[in-house]
Structure 1
Amino acid sequence: MSEKRQIKLSLYLIGAGMHVAAWRHPQGQADASIDIKALQKAAQIAEKGKFDIAFVADSLAINHESHPHILNRFDPIVQITALASATEKIGLGATASTTYSEPYVLARQLLSVDHISNGRVAWNLVTTSDATGQTALNFSREKHVEHDKRYERAEEFADVIRALWDSWEDDAFVYDKENGVFYDREKVHEANYKGQHFSVKGPLNIARSPQGYPVIVVAGASKPGQKLSTRVADAVFVHWDDIKTAKEHYKTLKSQLAQHGRSEDELVVFHGISPVVADTEAEAIQRHKELQDLLDPYEALKFVSGYMGNVDFSKYSLDTPAIEVDYPEVNSIQSNFNELIDIVKRENLKVGDLYARLFNVGKRDAFVGSPQQVADEMERWFNEKACDGFMLQFPLLPRDLEAFVEKVVPILQERGIFRKDYEGNTLREHLGVVKPVNQYTRTKVTP
């Protein structure tokens, strides 16, 4: 592996793009979220750009007041299985909920795809941030579990799934035809887990993969989210409004690793950005404007609502001071909500300003510009340790992804802060996080 610190890149793979109006753009494919060829093409472009991973988000209920792509999209684990067959090196991340899944089933599904892809899978561990409460109703529950209770369950879930993934030691399957020995019984282990939320015996009926087991990604910045991240995650996905806040959070996260016996390089911090790149800054601004011009302001506010307590913004004029909106108690992404409210108060935003000011994909920030400008800003965040890499939420796919790969990646490579080629085969090798030692092997006492 390269000794010099390298930027990590993740593609946020979502239909026609992250912008709410992407599907309406002349270059946008409205049904891209259920066109596997289009999704495979995007993953292949990212692989051409030597990205670490292509990441697939998810939701478990339809929210008519949110992003169009949430209404019609594949199950992430099924999707990355198809992506695995169309790619060779890039990592593949699938979102799955600890609140609405069972550890044994999910452990088997993810580890199966990890084998199919030869060790390129990541699990985006989420507790499900459901502002509407609709998800609970799809799973025979009357209401969504409270925020901190969801993280209590997630802590147990993570322990169970890792124990199941370690059911078989790396050399347990001997396949000795001559002596008729298929596996070594001494090297298979039951989890025998009994906790508040789960009781799971094991073992899992599939071996560890070439990278041990899937990379674990957590996207929670609240106190419980930080605790979970620094204890079990290999990577985290965060979003902050400015570099100062991002640097403070980065330092806070890294400082918590030691209490879990981990070093700072064992956790990769991805920061979300939405680059729009063109040959000149003026052209990039025009590309950004094209999408903004297609946006119905109240449709944009439906997206905002999902992060701000499921507010019905249709009751308010666009000129209403946003602080006058009646925001309910939030049981979803608390860190996001608190940051957004702080900005609303500090800048005295109006309701009509919210999408374009609060969300990367709507903002015209320093990541909208020429290749040199975008590369400079990425290098600044990276060098000042605001992050270890970026979750690239391109407004329009594949246009903005192609421009980034063709124009920005070569600059980062020339500066020596991004790989020119893959140096390994597994996602753990790409990210520079070690293959986990099997917990049962580690705890064996040597005579």
Structure 2
Amino acid sequence: MPDRRQLHLGAFMRPVSIHTAWWRYPGSVPDANFNFKQIARLAQKLEAGKFDAFFMADHLALLNMPMNALMRSATTTSFDPLTLLPALAAVTERLGLIATASTTFNDPYHVARKFASLDHISNGRSGWNLVTTSNPDAALNFGLDEHMEHGERYERGREFYDVVTGLWDSWADDAFIRDVENNVYFDPARMHVLDHKGEHFRVRGPLNVARPIQGWPVIVQAGASDAGRQVAAEIAEMVFAAGGPIEAARAYYADIKARAQAAGRNPDHVKILPGALVVVGDTVEEARKKRALLDSLVHPDSGIGSLSIALGVDASKFDLDGPLPEDIPETNQSKSGRQRIIDRAKRENLTVRQLAQIAGGYGGNAFTGTPQSIADEMEEWLETRAADGFNVMFPYVPGGLDEFVDRVVPELQRRGLFRTEYEGTTLRDHLDLPRPRNRFFPED
């Protein structure tokens, strides 16, 4: 078979599914959020399917929605990713392990140390999903009375990245000589003190963990606003792209790749993986019925609460059977997520009630069909430069994940669109990404 582009597949786990009704679906495991044995079994299944990575979302507060909506949602509570993923590293061998960590409510030294540790524990399989945290309630858990402004969050995030990656470069790869005879554990000439003094941070360094096996863990980013796109083009190695029509995805793909090239980067070193909820059936009609059943399990309170979060305003005050109001005020929420909801409402002429149903389930890309039809769609996205792969979301667990691995993955492999075996051991190997040079010891 001739060489051709192949898909990259991440499994986006929040902590097991993004759909707010996943835990109610027949055959699902309602306690999977806090059931380590179940999560470990899911990770091992993904590894058997040769997935690039297990990608863990995170929240630093309960979702800011009314209690009658919050009480129905399983997507806002989970283990801490940087506690869970080292445990998963011990029960897997090749699967990448991507954790979300906020640049708004963390310190760079802590993040650098935890991810360097995860990279060593996993033998080079870690990735950092760099987020700026849009939930205003998170601020209340970290000693702040109000949320940091959108622009300031991005400025802080950019400096945070510079500090973290600088700390990862604290040590040359050969710094730890461990010369027992001469009683020298490391070579001081192969250690760099960062001594960063910036607008947001003062960090001396060096990091007290050896340089990560991958040099740096893989950098993942998900911003879709103009500021987010620019950050992605400058630093991201995997971009978790937003959902939308394939035409919009192609435009986004071309924009990010062009920005990366303009920033002096190789565009091939920026992998763009949109999220995609995948529902598999023996027929397209059966898959649609599964999706309809799943969506029917979303309680109206949950839908309105989710829509309110997306818009940054209380949607319960709108006319549920009317169109989305034109004059929704801007807030300090995620700007790109808010705009996607507004654009979809106009494009599909949806009522507020219909939007709430979508928001309470999953309103992004969804592939609903047979293994063959799903593979057809994924192939089109890959071949027409709308994506380099997908961050797959499962409608329920374990069944939805098992169906994808057991039925869709073999079809992708049969077409030569996905690996049949891992060719390397690190997450960078899986994603065809180079190992970053050490800025302080460039010969490494």
TM-score bracket, normalised by the shorter chain, equals over 0.9
Find out whether 1:398 has 2:398 as its counterpart.
yes
Alignment partner, residue 296 of structure 1: 299
Alignment partner, residue 208 of structure 1: 211
Alignment partner, residue 88 of structure 1: 93
Q: 1:314 aligns with which of 306, 310, 316?
A: 316
CA contact (8 A) 2:298 2:361 kept: no
Find out whether 1:192 has 2:198 as its counterpart.
no
Show structure 2 runs of 5+ residues with no match: none
The CA distance in 2 between the partners of 1:215 and 1:153, in whole Å, is 20
How far did residue 165 of structure 1 move? 0.3
The CA distance in 2 between the partners of 1:249 and 1:197, in whole Å, is 30
CA contact (8 A) 1:20 1:303 kept: no
Cα distance 1:360–1:422, how it changes in 2: closer, same or farther (>3 A)? farther
AA matched with 1:234: E
Alignment partner, residue 430 of structure 2: 430
Q: 2:271 aligns with which of 268, 271, 279?
A: 268
Matches within 5 A, 1:42-441: 42-63=42-63, 65=65, 68-130=73-135, 133-309=136-312, 311-323=313-325, 327-357=328-358, 361=362, 367-441=367-441
How far did residue 70 of structure 1 move? 4.1
| More displaced stretch, 8-17 vs 116-125 | 8-17
What is the aligned-residue identity percentage? 45
AA matched with 1:128: T
The CA distance in 2 between the partners of 1:296 and 1:193, in whole Å, is 49
CA contact (8 A) 1:274 1:360 kept: no
The CA distance in 1 between the partners of 2:109 and 2:274, in whole Å, is 31
Show structure 1 runs of 5+ residues with no match: none
Report the aligned-residue RMSD: 2.0
CA contact (8 A) 1:269 1:388 kept: yes
Aligned residue pair count? 438
How far did residue 137 of structure 1 move? 1.2
The CA distance in 1 between the partners of 2:292 and 2:363, in whole Å, is 10
Cα distance 1:359–1:415, how it changes in 2: closer, same or farther (>3 A)? farther
How far did residue 155 of structure 1 move? 0.7
The CA distance in 1 between the partners of 2:115 and 2:333, in whole Å, is 25
How far did residue 16 of structure 1 move? 5.2
AA matched with 1:103: P
Q: What SS does the aligned partner of 2:372 have?
A: helix
| More displaced stretch, 299-308 vs 429-438 | 299-308
TM-score under structure 2 normalisation? 0.94
The CA distance in 2 between the partners of 1:303 and 1:90, in whole Å, is 31
How far did residue 366 of structure 1 move? 6.3
How far did residue 12 of structure 1 move? 1.0
How far did residue 156 of structure 1 move? 0.4
The CA distance in 2 between the partners of 1:224 and 1:294, in whole Å, is 36
After superposition, what is the alpha-carbon deviation per residue over 1:151-210, rounded to whole angstroms, capped at 9, x for unaligned?
Answer: 000110000000000000111111122222211111100111111001111100011122
AA matched with 1:96: A
CA contact (8 A) 1:217 1:233 kept: yes
The CA distance in 2 between the partners of 1:257 and 1:284, in whole Å, is 38
CA contact (8 A) 1:104 1:204 kept: yes
The CA distance in 1 between the partners of 2:158 and 2:443, in whole Å, is 21
The CA distance in 2 between the partners of 1:282 and 1:180, in whole Å, is 71
CA contact (8 A) 2:303 2:356 kept: yes
Q: What SS does the aligned partner of 1:270 have?
A: strand
Q: What SS does the aligned partner of 2:425 have?
A: coil
AA matched with 1:331: N
The CA distance in 1 between the partners of 2:25 and 2:261, in whole Å, is 48
AA matched with 1:312: D
CA contact (8 A) 1:166 1:439 kept: yes
The CA distance in 1 between the partners of 2:230 and 2:288, in whole Å, is 39
The CA distance in 2 between the partners of 1:430 and 1:345, in whole Å, is 39
TM-score under structure 1 normalisation? 0.93
CA contact (8 A) 1:361 1:395 kept: no
How far did residue 125 of structure 1 move? 0.2
| More displaced stretch, 153-162 vs 171-180 | 171-180
How far did residue 408 of structure 1 move? 0.9
CA contact (8 A) 1:374 1:408 kept: yes
CA contact (8 A) 1:322 1:350 kept: yes
The CA distance in 1 between the partners of 2:23 and 2:311, in whole Å, is 24
After superposition, what is the alpha-carbon deviation per residue over 1:222-241, rounded to whole angstroms, capped at 9, x for unaligned?
Answer: 11111211111111101131
How far did residue 316 of structure 1 move? 3.8
Q: What SS does the aligned partner of 1:240 have?
A: coil
Cα distance 1:16–1:109, how it changes in 2: closer, same or farther (>3 A)? closer
